[in-house]
Structure 1
């Protein structure tokens, strides 16, 4: 039963959001997608989860990115998304593009990890129950499994689509040669890879250097960037050292050893470029990703609706001069 009827903004598609085509497909995704890795699970008040999700949808963010073990604790981000579906989002399901994944640790024993048919199939069934959905729009193999035959993993994705449990499939963080094989295998079975996800930001350029960004585009796949702010390093929070309430101070996914004197100089120089552009460092870092038309969408995380609002300001200036790009390149590759 719906406790508090939600009416989304009537201007949600006329309020500045940009939509980009996912490779050679009929799917358009918002330039920014809401990532639910942190701050959407059991450690967060549901009222704030709801506030962030509603704000995102009100601003035209239609793509919600989840995985089976997002939380913390495992599964709780999907459970909270299921509560959102029951309480407010159900009437707008067809306006949403919902993603989940499997590939990392989820439950004990030999069948709760990696890329077997059994794990992928069972995990998606569990995810659908948690999210109160009949299907997801895209289901990802969250990482390449070097031990399971790749054909087994990929055929499980094909069969998941044919069973109607996902409309599309995607790959996340596959090495180049495995990705090349996967793109070909899936296309030959008429279930092409819609999206490839990878870590990509000013400091993490591997999708460029490995060739996977170019391969995705050539294969007709869209590309989705996650960790666009380098786990907070590019937010500007660390320009004057390590705040006591920061992720780095707590040692959560961003270690103190990263913030060397040389890194601090690079961050401050990048911040100077951003200031000259009339942006914060975070806004420039997000806009920098959108400069490349091969990037379909950028996943942003948040702990409040205000953070989502701040991120969306990057759309106001996503063009760069050749000189700006050269200066950013020099700083990012040092």
Structure 2
């Protein structure tokens, strides 16, 4: 059956301008870090992307190394674009990144002009696209001059391979310097993608203020702390959870009794707001004006449907924010 997008998909989603740019991002974006690789069932991935778009999610976020295997998440989205979303390309924001190890030898990692140029060419081929909407440098590279990396991003835009550029995992000082270089080059630099959640608040130290001062937007990965800020861990560690599988990002030792107590108290507060814990946690991240969007992962359609409902209640009272700080302290 030929896919036809929901005619009412834009009615309930919230869209935010990304920094001082004219680009709007959905408050909830779909991150394809997990569950969209070659090891995953294609039809499940396809169903999640289609449902996300039907619910107003226009932004799909990738990186060259997403999978596994590396590159396969881009191939998956490329297949979905070809089968279902090609008629809607001008209504989509497709982003990808380069910065982590991708192939052997001295040119498959880092921030060199050589690596970034080659990696994006490979990404475009896997996606079946002429350009991406946002291309990021995935992490700072201490072995490459920042000027070289930023000039490579500028060149990529001028070649027509990306409309905008961004950075990821850059701290406040690095972000400010990157912004200065790209501003002088006239490059459409609009966004920094970083981790931020109730359990990971490093961005509050200075980065969020820097984003505002530089006219940049923030987009957040891991806003649910690898699933900790969901109803999944309220009573115990489920056997099918990421923590139980002892992944490289989360394992049982990360879930202390103290943290479980905080999760339960946050869950109770969320219920009083008429939300799930995940919805409240996402809304809490989005409370900052400089945060344009949060990236949610998913392994099934129902998770996307739940997270989308976050936009129904984005406001917080002062008492609620104080209570959250008290629980987290």
Range class of TM-score, shorter chain: over 0.9
Equivalence map 1:212-231=2 (5 Å): 212-231=207-226
Do the aligned partners of 2:117 and 2:156 also contact (CA within 8 Å) in 1?
Answer: yes
- Paired residues of 1:225 and 1:299 also in contact (CA < 8 A): yes
Match of 1:146 among 139, 142, 145: 142
* Pick aligned residue for 1:73 from 35, 55, 69: 69
TM-superposed deviation, 1:74: 0.3
Aligned to 1:288: 284
Equivalent in the alignment of 1:234: 229
* Correspondent of 2:5 among 8, 15, 40: 8
Q: Does 1:193 align with 2:194?
A: no
TM-score (norm 1): 0.96
Shift of 1:291: 1.7
Counterpart CA distance in 2 for 1:214 and 1:137 is 25
* Matches for 1:28-47 after TM superposition, within 5 Å: 28-47=24-43
Distance 2:158 2:202 in 1: 33
User: Which 4+ residue blocks in structure 1 deviate beyond 6 angstroms?
Assistant: none
- Alpha-carbon contact 2:216-2:290 (below 8 Å) kept: no
Q: How far is 1:175 from its partner?
A: 2.2
CA distance in 1, matches of 2:284, 2:316: 8
1:20 is aligned to: 16
Equivalence map 1:161-310=2 (5 Å): 161-209=157-205, 211-252=206-247, 253-310=249-306
Deviations along 1:11-58, one digit per CA (max 9) or x if unpaired, are 1112x1000001111101100000000001112111111100000111
- Show CA shifts across 1:206-253 (max 9, x none): 1111x1111111111111011010000001211112111111000112
- C-alpha distance in structure 1 between counterparts of 2:54 and 2:314, whole Å: 22
Kindly provide the CA deviation profile for residues 122-157 of structure 1, in whole angstroms up to 9, marking residues without a partner as x.
Answer: 000000000000000010000000111111111000
Cα-to-partner distance string for 1:283-329 (whole Å, 9 max, x where unaligned):
11011112222110010110111110010111111111111101111
Matched length: 328
Gaps of 5+ in 1: none
**What SS does the aligned partner of 2:167 have?**
strand
Describe the SS at the equivalent of 1:157: helix
The answer (yes or no) to whether the contact 1:196–1:222 under 8 Å persists in 2 is yes
Residue of structure 1 aligned with 2:85, choices 80, 89, 110 = 89
Indicate the residue corresponding to 2:95 in structure 1.
99
Find the aligned partners of 1:86 and 1:232 in 2 and give their Cα distance. 31
The 2-side partners of 1:329 and 1:113 are apart by 39
Distance in 1, matches of 2:45 and 2:62, equals 13
Does 2:138 align with 1:135? no
CA apart distance, 1:279 = 1.2
- Structure 2: gaps (5+ residues): none
Cα distance in 1 for residues equivalent to 2:281 and 2:312: 13
Once the two structures are TM-superposed, the CA of residue 67 in structure 1 deviates from its matched residue by: 0.3
1:60 aligns with 2:56: yes
Q: Deviations over 1:48-88 (max 9, x none)?
A: 11100000111111001000010111000000111011111
Cα shift at 1:192: 3.5
Q: Shift of residue 330 of structure 1?
A: 2.2
Contact 1:183-1:192 at 8 Å conserved across structures: no
Matched residue, 1:108: 104
> 2: CA distance between counterparts of 1:239 and 1:305?
22
